[in-house]
């Protein structure tokens, strides 16, 4: 994974955690109340441990009661792919 990708993943991971904390202080409670993902998966998302599928991203947005574009706001998609491959 390239540096810019790691930075974007970290930014998104932090945002997911901040938004989840607004809904519930407890990860277990949040997942128990909302379902659709395991606590292990959600924890990996919040900690930027690995990349994830688009369908997972859609579930995250749904569980946080956001549109996908709101979740991805402020993530840098405008970079030179040729420099990063």
Which of the two residues, 3 and 53, has the higher pLDDT score?
53
Per-residue pLDDT reduced to its tens digit, 19-74: 999 988 899 898 888 878 899 999 999 999 888 889 999 999 999 999 999 998 88
Q: How many CB atoms lie within 10 A of CB 71?
A: 19
Residue 47 DSSP code: T
Distance, first Cα to last Cα, the chain? 9
Buried b (16+ CB within 10 A) or exposed e, 49-68: eeebeeebbebbbebbeeee
Q: Hey, what domains does the chain have and what are their CATH numbers? A: 3-84 (1.10.260.40)
């Amino acid at each position: 994974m390239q540096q810019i990708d790691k930075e974007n993943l970290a930014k998104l991971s932090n945002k997911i955690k901040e938004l989840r904390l607004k809904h519930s202080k407890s990860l277990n409670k949040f997942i128990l109340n909302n379902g659709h993902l395991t606590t292990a998966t959600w924890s990996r998302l919040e900690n930027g441990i690995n990349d994830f599928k688009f369908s997972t991203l859609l579930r995250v947005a749904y569980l946080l009661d956001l549109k996908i574009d709101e979740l991805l706001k402020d993530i840098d998609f405008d970079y030179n792919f040729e420099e990063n491959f």
